[in-house]
Structures are given as C-alpha cells and as structure tokens.
A and B are shown apart, each in its own frame.
Chain A
C-alpha cells in the first residue's frame, strides 16, 4: 500500500496533540482540505497515552537536525527543536524481573498466592492493558470541553467514567472531601454547625452579588473564608480541594474557581469530574476521527524533512519524505517549530510522576477513581494526584496507575517527594498499609500555556502550545479556537456534525456528501421505526 500523498491542501497540520487536533477537526468540518501528519507512529504527541512497553521506549527529544537550506526564491527550514520536549528524569522498576520459582511449581495454590507477587515479566506480558497518559486530564461535567464535545457531536467517539471521590490531605491523613449536598450531610467529619456554615458559604459563592465580595478585591480568598468565620477544617476543604487554590489566591479568583467546581456537580456521578476511558490520549483521536470523517487526510509516521517558505517568509509547503506538498496555512505543534525560529524561551515546567501501584491510597470495598488535591505545605506547591483503577481501562485489575504533578520549582523528584512519601511505602519490600510502587516514571515537560506563541517571523504559520497545568482542556480549546479564527475569521467553530443517518437523508435530495450516482430501489419503508418498536417491546 504505497501511495503518494496528495500534493495540494488548504491547510497542513503537523503534530497530533490536542490543540492541533481540534484545529484540524474544525477546518475539515467547514470543508477545508486538511492534511494532518505526524512524525510519530502514534497519535497525541506530548498528549498521548502509551502502553507499558511503549512508554519505556518513548523518545525524549528531537535528534540533530539538518541546517536551513536557501534555494532560489525559497528557504527550507529543518523541522523540530530541542527546547520543547519531555525531559525524562528516571524510569525504574521496583519489583524483580521475573520469579524464578514460578516454572517449578505451577500448582493452583501457588498461582493464587502469586497473584500479588508482581514481576516485570508479568506486567510486560499484559503491557497493552496499560494506557499511561503523558498529560492526564479530567473534565468538568459542565465545562467547556464537555460542552464542545456535545455541541460538535464528537461525543459519539468517546466514553467516560466519573471521578468517584475527591480526597485531601488534612492533619496527617487522607480525608474525603464532602462536595455534594449528600456528602456534606452524611459526612461524620463535619459537625452539624459546620454543615450549615458550609452550605451557606457555597450558596453565597454561587449566588452572591457584588456586595458579598466588596472590599475583597485585593485580598485573598483565604482571608474571605476566615472572615466568614469558617472553621479550620472547612477552610481547608473549600480552599485547597473545592476551589483548588493556594493561600495567595485572590478572593475573586477563588470564587470563580469555586463556581467552576460547583457548577459541574450533579450532572454525572458524585463529583464534578469525568475521565476519558482508556486514557486522555483517546481524546485527540476523537477530534482526528471527526476531521477524517469530513475529509481530512491522515498520515502518521512521516519523515518530515522541511518547511518551505518564500523570500517574504510566507508559508508555501512542506517536504514529506521526498515529496513536496503545498498548502496555504501551516499549523504545528511547538516541538516541530524550526530551531532557527524558536525565540520563545521556556521558563515554566511541569513536574510529573507516574506510578504503578499494588493497591489504592485509600482502600475501600469498591474500586474508586480518585482525585487527591494535596495542599501546599512548607513552601511546596500544591500537587494534583489522580489515581486510576482498572475500570478506567488504563490498567489491569488489582493495580492502579497514579499520576502526580505540580508546577516545577526544582525537579520532579524533589518537587513531589513530600507528597509521594506520605502516600506510598518508603522502601521496597517494606509492608504496611500503604501501597507499594511497582514502577515509577519521573519527567518534566515545558508548560507553554502562558507563553505568547505568535510566530511573527513566519507568515501563515500558527504554533500550538503543549499540555498545561489546567485540570481540564479549557486552555487548549481556547487556543485552538483562537488559531482557527485567525485563519478562517468568518467561519463557525465546530458546528454540530450531522449524524451519519442525517447525511444519507440529505443525500436523497441533492447535496449528498457521498454523491450518489445510482440509486437502488427497495428502500425499506419505515423499517427503522418498526424495529425500534419491536425493540421497545423486547425491553419490557
């Protein structure tokens, strides 16, 4: 199956990260001819999910690149830079490679006993049961992302699970954060008086008029909570868990964040959050699928050999393998930006750790999908901890994947150490009630969200940022929309895609996408209705 790619497009999108994929879908959706390519053999770039085997082979950065070529009337820039890449600090196993006694004794009881003795060999054998996110995300049930998925009809490509509990670290132990009305009332950690105070506060945060926060413009959210005479425990729940703030967060920002949380309660499940089944990496593929359905051409694993510009620095095309492909616009992920053009310096990084563990950080009768908001302590920034069980389709039964991340100040190990030490067994082999870490992966990635990425040197060229620290995809959607509107200023951004059935029905008139030239007779009259009635009977 060796084909050449078509050689002329309206827009070429390089990289299949979140922002690129949204732009690609939006452009295809309005009928633009889109080529979407990636030099990786997988979707998602820095937003991808990997199985256990492939994450150990993850490329750290771009290899050495050829230099700029000046041809007659044209300049060819090499692809990629080494500024915006993952920096792997360590990837380690904390269990033996294999269990030598295994082959000797294969009796049933030995197997049963062995269940809990994980080895590298065992885990790698079921490597594909793991879907390990580089950039795990949660979705506010009424947030921009969920609303976009629904309004664009991309929701049909994905499935979710709701986060089943939110934890915080309070007075030296893990506590469940009461976030819904019933949680508040059933919690035995919160006194009756506190319950009333909490409900009153949350109500005034959501419904409060301007007077409520008058005088707090320059003050912190914490000071507002203190003035409302909340107890220490309640302040902790609201400030660190519900609003996800620090001690320095300003009052109005804290109120906004509280609203974001409360506004998404009660739609799905017990908490405001959803998580994508099989990992966050599925989401970029959902947008790519929509792009493909609307004619976008997809080619992974391509060797990108250059971006072509004319002497006025206007984008002309790319060199893919040996083929030249022309287009009017170029959208690319940050890590593909030519080295010569990179004039953004990265100042912010995200410290990330991923663990495979043998049990939950807070065991319960049933499996949970847990979000732990680890509060800031001793000048260490707050950490987000996301614990995924097998029901998310990201790890095998009996194990958990734990993501821990925070804004980088030193390096991933040091930034997360205080949190990791409290949650997991300190030494290998030590047995207490805390989960053991079977495998660990520490890395950092640039946080490019707050950076201006306008590429003034190159015309018709748009640069997409990498993953950010937001829990959800809100900043990514905002950026994608911005880029889309700069390219196609009058077009609608991801209008609802028709259902497949609707496309066919429209086709019976005249503007058919599939372009019927020959119609067969015997279109079954109302067959669908009859069957659905039958199905209904069957239900009862």
Chain B
C-alpha cells in the first residue's frame, strides 16, 4: 500500500571540486547555467517537486558548499541521505579516479542500513567539452563493478540529460526511502525548528 503522505527525499551530490555539482543542481532546478567558475558560494540546497510513478515527491538536493575542497565535509552533511549522486568530469581523469574514495567516504559517514543496496547514481559531466578522457565504456564498467549503479552522461551547460538523470535519482531515492524509512521509521517525531510557532501535538500549554 503506497503511503499518500508527502515525501521528502534528501539527495546529496559528491565529487571533486570543479566537476560541476553546483551547475548540475542549478540547471536541473533553475534551468540556468553559469559559465564563470567560482567555488560554490551561496549554493546550499535546492528543492524541486517531481512526479515519480504518479507520486509527487520533493527532492531536496544538497550541495557540498565547497567543504569537499579540502576533504572537510562533516558527518552531519551525510545524515539521512536517500540517494547519493556521484559526479566526475569526463575530461578530467583524476575526478574519475576519486570516485571510489567518494563512494567509500559516503558509505562510512552515512553508514546506511544496507550498504550494498544503497542507491548511487553516477553522472559523467561536461560531455560538451573536448578532449574526452574517460570513455563511456570505462564509466559503465565502474558502475557494473559497484552493483550496477545507473550512469548518465550529462552537460549542465547544454542541459543535456540532466532532467533524465535527476528523474532516475528521484526514483532511486524513493525506492530507498519506501524500503527503509517507511518500514522501520527509525526516528519518528523529529522536531524541525521553524519560524512559525510550531506547536507539537502533545505539547502542553504553559504551566503558568
């Protein structure tokens, strides 16, 4: 039985600095691209509502805020992720080589319940640029060796495959969430502080 509750999915984007994480997110959510390279400033997380199999889900896509540059992402960043998007630059071999360590880092820090089944999606970005350093085949082989991670070749600049990639990300995240959180509901009744006077249902009025 599908739950008819509003679904919020947390997606985090990982990969070396400069592979286009912020650009992909910005292209997907805002349909915009900036050519000017700037280490992620002001990019935090973006949300977008998408329809997956007739269900409306809210994707909350978290950027690294530049904290990956000197390997300084804290464990708090990884909490509660429903899907992890790994990004490399198809013209920069080093960014492809780093994928293993990003994946390992995620599995250690996020420590998901079923590490082998946790959904990753791999994006090979900047396919609009030449010369190409990592072939499609090589990337696909890597994905196969990691329990068949879906792979997309994208260009945030040309808006190529971005929509399709995130659709797949949303679907994978949703599967993950309906398998784990809905079943186990690990941490019910968490409180988010918001500006509205958010009264808890079992809250008591003041004693005075």
Interface window among B67-75, B132-140, B143-151, B164-172 = B67-75
User: Cβ of A312 < 8 Å from any Cβ of B?
Assistant: no
Q: Are A528 and B49 in contact (CB under 8 A)?
A: yes
CA distance A150 to B192 in the complex (A): 10
Q: Are B31 and A520 in contact (CB under 8 A)?
A: yes
Q: Are A179 and B41 in contact (CB under 8 A)?
A: no
CA distance A5 to B66 in the complex (A): 13
Interface window among B123-131, B174-182, B195-203 = B195-203
CA distance A161 to B186 in the complex (A): 13
Shortest Cβ distance from B55 into chain A, in angstroms? 8
Q: Are B199 and A292 in contact (CB under 8 A)?
A: no
User: Cβ of B65 < 8 Å from any Cβ of A?
Assistant: yes
User: Cβ of A157 < 8 Å from any Cβ of B?
Assistant: yes
Q: 1/0 per position for A198-212, CB-CB distance to B under 8 A?
A: 010011011100000
* Cβ-defined partner of B207 (8 Å) among A160, A184, A517: A184
Q: Are A268 and B43 in contact (CB under 8 A)?
A: no
| With known contacts A266-B204, A298-B67, A534-B56, A155–B193 Cβ distance under 8 A | yes
Q: Are B77 and A274 in contact (CB under 8 A)?
A: no
CA distance A267 to B205 in the complex (A): 8
Q: Are A180 and B204 in contact (CB under 8 A)?
A: yes
Shortest Cβ distance from A47 into chain B, in angstroms? 13
| With known contacts A150-B193, A538-B6, A180–B207 Cβ distance under 8 A | yes
Q: Are A181 and B34 in contact (CB under 8 A)?
A: no
Q: Which residues of the other chain, B, contact A179 by a CB distance below 8 angstroms?
A: 207
| With known contacts A161-B189, A292-B65, A535–B72 Cβ distance under 8 A | no
Shortest Cβ distance from A480 into chain B, in angstroms? 19
| With known contacts A293-B44, A301-B71, A514-B43, A522–B65 Cβ distance under 8 A | no
User: Cβ of B16 < 8 Å from any Cβ of A?
Assistant: yes
Q: Are B193 and A289 in contact (CB under 8 A)?
A: no
Q: Are A517 and B49 in contact (CB under 8 A)?
A: no
| With known contacts A155-B192, A267-B199, A535-B56, A518–B65 Cβ distance under 8 A | no
Q: 1/0 per position for A146-181, CB-CB distance to B under 8 A?
A: 100110000111111110000000000000000111
Q: Are A262 and B72 in contact (CB under 8 A)?
A: no
| With known contacts A3-B69, A181-B207, A269-B203, A161–B111 Cβ distance under 8 A | no
Considering only residues 82-135 of chain B, those with a C-beta below 8 Å from chain A are 94, 98, 108, 111
Q: Which residues of the other chain, B, contact A538 by a CB distance below 8 angstroms?
A: 4, 6, 55-56
User: Cβ of A285 < 8 Å from any Cβ of B?
Assistant: yes
Q: Which residues of the other chain, A, contact B4 by a CB distance below 8 angstroms?
A: 538-539
Q: Are A289 and B111 in contact (CB under 8 A)?
A: no
Nearest A-chain residue to B64, judged by Cβ: A292
Considering only residues 491-540 of chain A, those with a C-beta below 8 Å from chain B are 500-501, 503-504, 513-520, 522-524, 528, 531-532, 534-535, 538-539
* Cβ-defined partner of A3 (8 Å) among B43, B70, B189: B70
Considering only residues 117-158 of chain A, those with a C-beta below 8 Å from chain B are 128-129, 146, 149-150, 155-158
Q: Which residues of the other chain, A, contact B32 by a CB distance below 8 angstroms?
A: 504, 516, 519-520, 523
Q: Are A5 and B33 in contact (CB under 8 A)?
A: no
Shortest Cβ distance from B82 into chain A, in angstroms? 15
Shortest Cβ distance from B167 into chain A, in angstroms? 14
Q: Are B43 and A146 in contact (CB under 8 A)?
A: no
Q: 1/0 per position for B16-49, CB-CB distance to A under 8 A?
A: 1100001000110011111110100111111101
CA distance A199 to B205 in the complex (A): 13
CA distance A162 to B208 in the complex (A): 20
Q: Are B191 and A160 in contact (CB under 8 A)?
A: yes
Nearest A-chain residue to B110, judged by Cβ: A128
CA distance A129 to B110 in the complex (A): 10
Interface size on B, as a range, is 35 or more
Q: Are B199 and A517 in contact (CB under 8 A)?
A: no
Q: Are A289 and B190 in contact (CB under 8 A)?
A: no
CA distance A534 to B192 in the complex (A): 24
Q: Are A289 and B191 in contact (CB under 8 A)?
A: no
Q: Are B190 and A161 in contact (CB under 8 A)?
A: yes
Q: Are B203 and A270 in contact (CB under 8 A)?
A: yes
CA distance A285 to B27 in the complex (A): 28
CA distance A293 to B39 in the complex (A): 10
CA distance A221 to B25 in the complex (A): 58
Shortest Cβ distance from B57 into chain A, in angstroms? 9
CA distance A283 to B6 in the complex (A): 27
Q: Which residues of the other chain, B, contact A182 by a CB distance below 8 angstroms?
A: 204
Q: Which residues of the other chain, B, contact A532 by a CB distance below 8 angstroms?
A: 49
Q: Are A504 and B65 in contact (CB under 8 A)?
A: no
User: Cβ of B160 < 8 Å from any Cβ of A?
Assistant: no
User: Cβ of A377 < 8 Å from any Cβ of B?
Assistant: no
Q: Are A181 and B204 in contact (CB under 8 A)?
A: yes
Nearest A-chain residue to B198, judged by Cβ: A268
* Cβ-defined partner of A297 (8 Å) among B44, B66, B111: B66
* Cβ-defined partner of B203 (8 Å) among A43, A268, A297: A268
* Cβ-defined partner of B191 (8 Å) among A159, A183, A297: A159
Q: Which residues of the other chain, A, contact B5 by a CB distance below 8 angstroms?
A: 539
Nearest B-chain residue to A180, judged by Cβ: B204
Q: Which residues of the other chain, B, contact A278 by a CB distance below 8 angstroms?
A: 76, 79
| With known contacts A262-B208, A300-B70, A293–B43 Cβ distance under 8 A | yes
Shortest Cβ distance from A511 into chain B, in angstroms? 11
Q: Are A292 and B193 in contact (CB under 8 A)?
A: no
Q: Are B33 and A518 in contact (CB under 8 A)?
A: yes
User: Cβ of A299 < 8 Å from any Cβ of B?
Assistant: yes
CA distance A180 to B207 in the complex (A): 5
Shortest Cβ distance from B27 into chain A, in angstroms? 8
Instruction: Give 11 pairs: A residue, B residue, CB < 8 Å, sorted on A.
Output: A262-B206, A278-B76, A295-B41, A504-B32, A513-B41, A523-B31, A523-B32, A531-B49, A534-B49, A535-B49, A538-B6
18 more CB-based (< 8 A) A-B contacts, given A181-B204, A267-B203, A517-B35: A1-B71, A160-B190, A161-B189, A161-B191, A182-B204, A203-B208, A205-B208, A266-B203, A269-B203, A270-B202, A277-B190, A288-B67, A295-B42, A298-B70, A500-B44, A504-B32, A520-B31, A535-B49
Interface residues of chain B, those whose CB is within 8 Å of chain A, are: 4-6, 16-17, 22, 26-27, 30-36, 38, 41-47, 49, 51, 55-56, 58, 65-67, 69-72, 74-77, 79, 94, 98, 108, 111, 159, 187-195, 197-200, 202-208
A-B residue pairs, 5 tightest by C-beta: A513-B42, A180-B204, A531-B49, A299-B70, A285-B76
Interface residues of chain A, those whose CB is within 8 Å of chain B, are: 1, 3, 5, 42-43, 128-129, 146, 149-150, 155-162, 179-184, 199, 202-203, 205-207, 262, 265-270, 274, 277-278, 282, 285-286, 288-289, 292-295, 297-301, 391, 393, 500-501, 503-504, 513-520, 522-524, 528, 531-532, 534-535, 538-539
